[in-house]
């Protein structure tokens, strides 16, 4: 194991990272400049990954004259916002090499304490930041944290952040949020990320002041996308260079509500796909067809994330005897070279692929007293390609579940004798000689299992960027339709059933209790129990998951309604008209099955449609709100977890500093369970109008 102090002393290996140690309170010198107003901090301040003795602080400084020269900075930390007594006052230099961002790893702070911080360049100060440290590992300290994901700048305003801030400021100290868990899609790498967007006028959102929200062109960017098959965003462009990704973080962090959230709470952050490329796996560009290798993009996307997201990576403490593998960014030159194909595992042996992935390792675990271990997995960098079959003439639009399983199992299918061809076709099985599919990759998966076994915390909170709860259509239940059950999308855990089952059975077989997953990505609220085997006649609940809707990214329901507009049957599964109301029938379809959804749509009768209720349409799923934006709030103590999934008003409208109105809160309670017992999720109970069909 590395000595923590030695590691911190060596952090200057990446320009823009600085290690500092707090001291006893003293009166700090106020930086002065001969010329006031020379500098500004346009992306605000932030903190991340609180430890019992420290935290990571962050800012970006810019010269008002546009100069790229190095900027001398000071960071100051105080126990009070007046900075009369300062516990840290350190000098450092921000340079062009890191886009004038600065990460400061501070140690020597007191555990379970609130601190205030600020940066200064010359006589110009940043906004005030507020952060806190974690309690000691043996402290019996409850916690309350928010979890959030998916904040497209193009698709909506950040009224959800403003709402969260307003409510927290109005709350008693003991019920305020300790930290924010961000589950990915901090940025979106595409300009024009809206179906049917007119790229001649991408600034379509209007703020409360009447001004349009501008999304300028990329510094470089790809060529505009053509209107080819499978592309409903002609004219869109995607980030390509380091300048493009830096541009995106600067743009997103120009938002006042997001800045205020990062200034108030420490963030614990993981990425999903859009920090690099949509539906990312390893270093692959996946926009059209099978995509193409994009190792150079992966490196610069990693660099920009590291520059703009405060996270403690190198030097992160171990979980018991299990070392944290996280490592700071280290640049390497790579080329975009063809993949070689899977061999022993799905991590492509292409040297540029492996080198690009190794530039930054972000999966890690953080402890919060005796109460919880926060385990963050990277679900993109080591993932195998999703099991998409070749085009099969006359096949149903959604890939059948059994075909997904066959492709996912690879060479292990059919007890190690996979079929040469896809079922009922002459099409060669493309995964006949491939290893089983994987989301985590072999190294991360082994680490994840060991952390769950080793952790002595009461609750293990899995920061799972996309949900492990199923999202399927039980099309096989439609009598005489000749269709098969199908997952809705195979990019997430839906497309990797074998590894999902392996992980759930590991939790069961090792008697690991009190595992709760927090997930993002799917742009809807979901809650339910995670079963060991989704397809068993009698399955055992082994964990619980809460998936959160996007802060501003487009919700599932309107997208599904648009996609089903030319198919009357599928449109009925998504919505139907009841008087003046457009019913969000997709929720019922997911919970109770397609037959129930169709009967309700056609007859409008609950007592008839409920006759066809299918509890196994999506096993374990007990709540879904597909027309939602918002966030989650989780309160955790030794005996129970209480979770509120908060749905706010449409983010296409700017509600100003007061934040978006809350439409509803769905509250769930989960009591701790012992090894050998099963979790029992209670809820939802609602504040505000419940979504259909939960009235």
Percent of the chain with pLDDT over 70: 94
Phi, psi angle pair for 608, to nearest 5°: -80, -45
Instruction: Give residue 80's pLDDT band: very low, low, confident or very high (50, 70, 90).
Output: very high
SS3 (DSSP) at 586: helix
| Residue 588 located in a structural domain | yes
What pLDDT, on a 0 to 100 scale, did the predictor assign at position 513? 98
| Residue 635 located in a structural domain | yes
What pLDDT, on a 0 to 100 scale, did the predictor assign at position 69? 96
Judge contact between 373 and 319, C-beta under 8 A: yes
d(CA 10, CA 219): 34
209 vs 659: which has the higher pLDDT: 659
Q: Is the pLDDT of residue 26 over 60?
A: no
pLDDT in tens, 416-457: 999 999 999 999 999 999 999 999 999 999 999 999 999 999
- Rounded to a whole number of angstroms, the CA Rg of the chain reads 25
| Residue 193 located in a structural domain | no
Phi, psi angle pair for 546, to nearest 5°: -125, 120
Cis ω before 684 (30° cut-off from 0): yes
CA distances, 8 to each of 37, 55, 104, 313, 316 (Å): 33, 12, 10, 11, 10
CA torsion sign for 162, 259, 254, 153 is negative
Question: 10 Å Cβ neighbour count for 567?
Answer: 12
Instruction: Give residue 9's pLDDT band: very low, low, confident or very high (50, 70, 90).
Output: very low
| Residue 348 located in a structural domain | no
**First vs last Cα of the chain: how many Å apart?**
54
| Residue 73 located in a structural domain | no
What is the per-residue DSSP string for 223-255?
Answer: PPPP--TT---TT-EE--SHHHHHHHHHHHTT-
Dihedral, CA atoms, 193, 198, 203, 209, nearest 10 degrees? -120
Lowest mean pLDDT among 226-230, 378-382, 566-570: 226-230
79-104 average pLDDT score? 95
What pLDDT, on a 0 to 100 scale, did the predictor assign at position 43? 98
Instruction: Give residue 14's pLDDT band: very low, low, confident or very high (50, 70, 90).
Output: low
As for how many domains the chain has, the answer is: 1
Q: Please tell me the pTM assigned to this model.
A: 0.95
CA atoms within 13 A on the CB side of 77: 30
d(CA 200, CA 429): 44
Which two structure tokens, joined as six digits, stand for 482? 């000749």
| Residue 380 located in a structural domain | no
Which two structure tokens, joined as six digits, stand for 256? 């006042």
Which two structure tokens, joined as six digits, stand for 569? 């049957």
| Residue 671 located in a structural domain | yes
Smallest CA-to-CA distance from 324 within 390, 374, 283, 380 is with 374
| Residue 661 located in a structural domain | yes
d(CA 179, CA 695): 32
Range of the domain at 619: 401-487+497-688
39-46 average pLDDT score? 97
d(CA 307, CA 48): 13
CA distances, 266 to each of 119, 632, 666 (Å): 16, 16, 25
pLDDT in tens, 621-665: 999 999 999 999 999 999 999 999 999 999 999 999 899 999 999
What pLDDT, on a 0 to 100 scale, did the predictor assign at position 5? 42
What pLDDT, on a 0 to 100 scale, did the predictor assign at position 36? 64
d(CA 545, CA 634): 12
593-609 average pLDDT score? 93
């Amino acid at each position: 194991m590395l000595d923590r102090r030695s590691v911190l002393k060596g952090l200057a290996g990446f320009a823009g990272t600085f290690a500092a140690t707090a001291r006893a309170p003293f009166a700090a010198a106020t930086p002065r400049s001969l010329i006031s107003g020379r500098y500004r901090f346009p992306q605000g301040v932030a903190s991340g990954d609180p430890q019992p003795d420290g935290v990571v602080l962050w800012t970006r400084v810019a010269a008002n004259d546009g100069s790229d020269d190095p900027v001398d900075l000071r960071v100051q930390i105080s126990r009070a916002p007046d900075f009369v007594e300062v516990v840290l006052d350190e000098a450092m230099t921000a340079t062009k090499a890191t886009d004038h961002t600065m990460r400061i790893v501070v140690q020597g702070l007191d555990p379970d304490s609130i601190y205030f911080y600020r940066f200064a360049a010359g006589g110009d100060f940043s906004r005030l930041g507020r952060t806190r440290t974690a309690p000691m590992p043996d402290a019996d300290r409850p916690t309350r944290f928010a979890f959030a994901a998916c904040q497209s700048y193009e698709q909506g305003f950040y009224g959800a952040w403003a709402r969260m801030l307003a409510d927290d400021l109005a709350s008693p100290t003991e019920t305020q949020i300790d930290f924010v868990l961000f589950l990915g899609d901090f940025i979106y790498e595409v300009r024009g990320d809206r179906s049917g967007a007119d790229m001649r006028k991408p600034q379509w959102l209007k703020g409360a002041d009447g001004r349009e929200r501008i999304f300028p062109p990329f510094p470089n960017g790809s060529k505009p996308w053509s209107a080819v098959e499978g592309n409903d965003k002609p004219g869109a462009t995607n980030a390509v260079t380091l300048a493009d990704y830096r541009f995106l973080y600067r743009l997103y962090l120009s938002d006042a509500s997001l800045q205020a959230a990062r200034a108030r709470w420490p963030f614990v952050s993981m990425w999903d796909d859009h920090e690099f490329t949509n539906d990312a796996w390893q270093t692959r560009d996946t926009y059209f067809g099978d995509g193409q290798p994009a190792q150079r993009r992966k490196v610069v996307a990693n660099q920009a994330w590291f520059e703009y997201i405060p996270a403690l990576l190198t030097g992160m403490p171990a979980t018991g005897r299990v070392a944290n593998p996280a490592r700071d960014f280290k640049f390497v030159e790579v080329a975009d070279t063809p993949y070689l194909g899977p061999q022993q595992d799905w991590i492509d042996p292409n040297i540029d692929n492996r080198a690009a992935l190794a530039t930054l390792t972000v999966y890690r675990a953080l402890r919060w007293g005796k109460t919880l271990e926060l385990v963050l997995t990277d679900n993109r960098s080591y993932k195998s390609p999703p099991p998409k079959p070749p085009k099969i003439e006359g096949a149903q639009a959604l890939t059948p579940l059994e075909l997904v399983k066959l492709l996912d199992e690879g060479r292990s299918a059919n007890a190690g004798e996979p079929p040469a061809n896809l079922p009922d076709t002459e099409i060669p099985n493309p995964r006949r000689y491939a290893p089983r599919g994987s989301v985590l990759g072999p190294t991360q998966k082994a680490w994840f299992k060991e952390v769950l076994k080793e952790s002595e915390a009461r609750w293990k909170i899995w920061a799972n960027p996309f949900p492990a709860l199923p999202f399927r259509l039980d099309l096989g239940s439609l009598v005489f339709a000749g269709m098969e059950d199908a997952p809705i999308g195979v990019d997430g855990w839906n497309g990797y059933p074998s590894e999902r089952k392996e992980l759930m059975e590991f939790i069961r077989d090792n008697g690991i209790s009190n595992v709760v997953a927090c997930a993002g990505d799917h742009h809807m609220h979901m809650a339910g129990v995670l079963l060991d085997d989704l397809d068993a006649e009698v399955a055992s609940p082994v964990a619980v998951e809460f998936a959160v809707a996007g802060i501003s990214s487009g919700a599932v329901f309107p997208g599904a309604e648009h996609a089903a507009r030319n198919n009357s049957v599928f449109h009925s599964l998504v919505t139907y008209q009841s008087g003046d109301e457009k019913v969000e029938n997709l929720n019922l379809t997911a919970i109770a099955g397609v037959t129930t959804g169709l009967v309700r749509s056609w007859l409008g009768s609950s007592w008839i449609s409920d006759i066809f209720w299918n509890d196994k349409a999506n096993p374990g799923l007990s709540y879904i709100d597909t027309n939602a934006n918002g966030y989650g709030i989780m309160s955790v103590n030794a005996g129970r977890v209480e979770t509120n999934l908060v749905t706010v008003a449409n983010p296409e409208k700017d509600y100003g500093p007061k934040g978006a109105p809350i439409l509803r809160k769905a509250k769930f309670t989960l009591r701790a369970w012992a090894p050998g017992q099963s979790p029992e999720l209670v809820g939802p109970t609602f504040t505000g109008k419940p979504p259909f069909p939960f009235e």
